[in-house]
Structure formats: C-alpha cells, structure tokens
Structure 1
Amino acid sequence: MPFPKSVTKVKKNGVEFTSNVDRAKYTIQELTRAALKDTAKLIRRRILDKARKMRGMGKTKRIPNAFQYWVRRREGDLQIGVKHDTWYGADQELGTNNQPARHIIRDTVYENIDQIRIIQGQYLEAIEDENRARGLIDEEEEIGDEDN
C-alpha cells in the first residue's frame, strides 16, 4: 500500500475540513510492522545463537534454515517459529515421549523482553516525527530466514 495523500479536504457551508486520518493510520500501521520486523530479527539471531550452543546442534548448517519469522501485513502480527518438517521441528521445542522440551523459542523471547520493549518504543516514539517515521518504514513484505 503506497503512502496515502497527505490530507483530505472537504468544504461544507463555507468551512474547510482537513483530515490527516488516513495518513496517520498508515504511518502507525507501517511503524508497527517495522517494529515487529526488527524484533523478529533480534529474536531469530538469539535463537540461532542458543541453538548452535546446544549439544549436537552446533555442527550442522541446517540450523539457520529451520527458524523463521513471518511479519504478516494483513493480520498485523508477528510469528516466529520452526519451518514445517525441518530437522529440528516442533518436537524439539515442545518435546515428545522420547525427548524433553527444549523451549528455545519461548525462553529466548522471555529472556529478551526488555530489548523487545526498547525496539518497540523506538518505533512508537517516531509517530510524532513524520520524517523519522518514513525513514523507519520499509514497505517490502518479508519472510525472514536470512542471517542479518
């Protein structure tokens, strides 16, 4: 969705109404999405570090491809997880009868709550400054499984 017109002007009975609602709504949605993307990159990096340090996991190159994030534009949310049918799979995260749960994703998120709040706060703070906000917004859809 492209950046909307800056204002909507309506004249009624000699009075001109100017509305920036569409522009403000767009800016808030895109800043929220950008904040989620940066949060996801941080969490994914920390998950990969933790997974590489675990016994038996550090010797494979498949780890980076197992963990992924999805910043969904329509739903306005973030999902971090394990790709379907990867070597790691949900069995490692949640556990099975033969294997204890490792909770790598859950624990990594809990351990980084303060950093997540800092990232989110930087974006929300930018709402007041339109130029800064536009500089933070990346309008590309993203599925993250790259090492950034």
Structure 2
Amino acid sequence: MHLKRFTDFALRVLIYLALHPGRTISINEIARAFDMSRNHLLKVINELVASEMIITYRGKTGGIRLARDPAAINVGALVRRLEGQAPLINCAEPLCPILPACTLKQVLNEAQHAFFEQLERYTLADLIGTKQEKLVNLLTNHVAGGNA
C-alpha cells in the first residue's frame, strides 16, 4: 500500500500542529519545515479544514491550529478519508480472463482492510508519544540548517 503525497502532507501538517499546542502556525512555517510547495500545502489545508481537523485564522497574525485534541484525531479514519476506498486492483479494466476463478482481489481487499484497521489503532497523540521534544528539535535544526 502506498499513500498519496497528499495524505503524507496532511499527516505531517497535523504532527507539526500537535507539536506546537496553543500556537497559531503560519502555512509558510510548515512549508519551510517540510520543504513543501506552499500551493500544494494550501490544498491539503483546505481538506483538513473541511474534515474539521484544523481551524484557520485570517489576518496578519493568522494561521492554523488543530481543531481537536491530538488524542481525538484517529490516524486510520483520516487516512481512510484521504485515500478513499478504491480497490487495490481493477480486474475489469482490462477484463482479466481468470477473474471467475481468481482469489487475488479478495486477498488484496483483506490486506487493505487490515491496513486500515491497524492505522485505526493510533491517534495523532500516539504518533508524537514521548518524542515531542526530539521531533521539535529535528524540525528546528532542519530549518536552521539552511532550509529556511
């Protein structure tokens, strides 16, 4: 299973916001921290706002914050929403001649279900765990190291 870049960026945004509780974070700050395109990041932000994961604040001191406690943001539910429920393979396009006797599609559907089930065991708070200080330091050093 391979996550879309969009989903990857959404998870990074949420992790960044969770690492800075109570702060309103600018989109430019996140773009610099992860070397992301600001334009692509704006699309991700819009989806996170639509899914009620983050809140935006307009104006000179505007930015974004988490809309919920990190412990209330389920990783699996978010990934499922962003990735969709499309099957891993399409046996009808082109039509596979062994379709009537093949179990590959069933096996892959079971694997996909298990993938999402595993992710649903974790929250955003779990992704940070006891590593908050280390994660903040890594991001700070990354930006200070010439990626600002």
Q: Scaled by the length of structure 1, what TM-score is found?
A: 0.25
Looking at secondary structure, tell me which structure has more helix per residue: 2
Say which structure, 1 or 2, has more relative contact order (CA 8 Å, 6+ apart).
Answer: 2
Q: Scaled by the length of structure 2, what TM-score is found?
A: 0.25
Looking at secondary structure, tell me which structure has more strand per residue: 1
